[in-house]
Amino acid sequence: MREFVLRALKARSDPHFDITDLPSAGRMDVVCRCISNALFISNDVRRDTIFHVVFDGPSNPPKTVSFYGDSVKDLYFDELSIAKTLRKALSKKLEKDKIIESAPGVFVQKLGFEPLVSLKIKTHQLIYLHEKGADIRSVLLKKDLLFVFGDYIGMPKKTEVFLDNLGALRVSISPIMLFASHTITIVHNELDRRSF
Amino acid sequence: MREFVLRALKARSDPHFDITDLPSAGRMDVVCRCISNALFISNDVRRDTIFHVVFDGPSNPPKTVSFYGDSVKDLYFDELSIAKTLRKALSKKLEKDKIIESAPGVFVQKLGFEPLVSLKIKTHQLIYLHEKGADIRSVLLKKDLLFVFGDYIGMPKKTEVFLDNLGALRVSISPIMLFASHTITIVHNELDRRSF
């Protein structure tokens, strides 16, 4: 399985944003492009992929919305369609330790970045996508992978210490700084090449 | 220089489309994502890149809109912002052999795919991005490159013959079928790696 965790530090954690102005909602457009690139290929969905977004922006952080490639349905892959799906998920009333399915294959819960990653660490190889990491083309990758990465702001120093303590492997995908959404495409491409 | 030509067979060649429903405008969302991925990196524009879209959809095909990375200004990279820029370009009244600058670094002209490619062939290495081509990682690439590719429909047979006659090199970037927008990210990544 390929799992990704995007930490969106400014993206709104409530549904009060204008669908026609996603950049103003803490760069919700970046979040939507990441989801689209993670889940969709030409004429198909990546069924081996799970994509989590941790929303740390106002007004009710943190929340985690998770997309399961093997069960999403009727999800279209342009930014506006994905934003509508996110708005629906972020409008759900949440209780501690409860997960709500807001649309087929789309789940929302009151969960922050560190607890989410801690849940996965026993079963997944943890990879922190970072510009100064080892080149992905030369890294040994296991079967079950958890890629974590920041949005346009990057990760807070405290989170980097947390990831280091968990033994996260820092991996880079490019000699220049790219968008988070590009990063996902390149990670998938490397894994696709190794799968065939 | 890196130049790309996207042939958008169904994307509307007039400005009469709903900005909040880009998929219905002949998959204008795909076109917008391609432009975004071609031109923008984190905190910067790719100044060495020119991106052309040939619009072959209704109601006034063909038209070519070209984005010059070294001179675009005030262009934002979410789908809606790019769609607004395209709508403005497609609303211009065009005359044969005249080029109009519809926004800084954005040019529109009454030009089809084959004449556009023919104009570039003397100065550029012509590469046709195709799922059955040689792996991009093993291909010798020159300094000035022209990558041509189809949208979700692919290229018509007649166009493939045209490209073959020009000696276009068929190059693939993945063992599975990806979106045109993903293709651009992976091409840029390969070129970035070779530039450093």
Per-residue pLDDT tens for A24-68? 999 999 999 999 999 999 989 999 999 999 999 999 999 999 999
Q: Do A80 and B189 make contact, defined as CB atoms within 8 angstroms?
A: no
A-chain CB neighbours of B23 within 8 Å are: 76, 78, 81
Q: Once rounded to an integer, what is the mean pLDDT over residues A174-182?
A: 95
Q: Do A182 and B185 make contact, defined as CB atoms within 8 angstroms?
A: yes
- Whether the CB-CB separation of A81 and A75 falls below 8 Å is answered with yes
The Cα of B33 is separated from the nearest Cα of chain A by a number of Å equal to: 9
Share of chain A above pLDDT 90, in %: 96
Task: Point out the residue among A20, A36, A41 whose CB comes nearest to the CB of B80.
Answer: A20
The C-alpha atoms of residue A2 and residue A47 are separated, in whole angstroms, by 9
Beta bridge partners of A64: A54, A109
Task: Point out the residue among B29, B41, B81 whose CB comes nearest to the CB of A178.
Answer: B41
Nearest residue to B82 (alpha-carbon basis) of B11, B160, B188 = B11
A-chain CB neighbours of B41 within 8 Å are: 176-179, 182
pLDDT tens figures, A117-149: 999 999 999 999 999 999 999 999 999 999 999
A-chain CB neighbours of B42 within 8 Å are: 152, 177-179
Q: Do B29 and A152 make contact, defined as CB atoms within 8 angstroms?
A: no
**Chains A, B: CB contacts under 8 A, how many?**
91
Mean pLDDT of chain A: 96
- With residue B51 as reference, give the H or E element that holds it: strand B49-55
Task: Point out the residue among A79, A176, A192 whose CB comes nearest to the CB of B176.
Answer: A192
pLDDT at position B11 is 97
- Give chain B's contact residues with A (Cβ, < 8 Å): 19-23, 29, 33, 36-37, 40-43, 76-81, 152, 173-179, 182, 185-186, 189, 192-193, 195-196
Q: Do A193 and B173 make contact, defined as CB atoms within 8 angstroms?
A: no
The C-alpha atoms of residue B92 and residue B108 are separated, in whole angstroms, by 8
Buried b or exposed e, range B103-125, using 16+ CB within 10 angstroms = bebbbbbbbbbbebbeebeeebb
ipTM comes to 0.96
The Cα of A122 is separated from the nearest Cα of chain B by a number of Å equal to: 30
A-chain CB neighbours of B175 within 8 Å are: 192-193, 195-196
B-chain CB neighbours of A75 within 8 Å are: none
Q: Do A80 and B76 make contact, defined as CB atoms within 8 angstroms?
A: no
Instruction: Tell whether the model's pLDDT for residue A196 goes beyond 80.
Output: no
Residues 6+ apart with CB under 8 A from A74: A103, A104
Instruction: Tell whether the model's pLDDT for residue A192 goes beyond 90.
Output: yes
pLDDT at position B109 is 98
- From first to last of its 196 residues, what are the pLDDT tens digits of chain B? 999 999 999 999 999 999 999 999 999 999 999 999 999 999 899 999 999 999 999 999 999 999 999 999 999 999 999 999 999 999 999 998 999 999 999 999 999 999 999 999 999 999 999 999 999 999 999 999 999 999 887 899 999 999 999 999 999 999 999 999 999 999 999 999 999 7
Task: Point out the residue among A23, A37, A42 whose CB comes nearest to the CB of B78.
Answer: A23
The Cα of B181 is separated from the nearest Cα of chain A by a number of Å equal to: 9
Nearest residue to A60 (alpha-carbon basis) of A108, A102, A103 = A108
Sign of CA dihedral A99, A105, A111, A116: positive
Three-state DSSP class for B102? Answer: strand
B-chain CB neighbours of A22 within 8 Å are: 78, 80
pLDDT at position A136 is 98
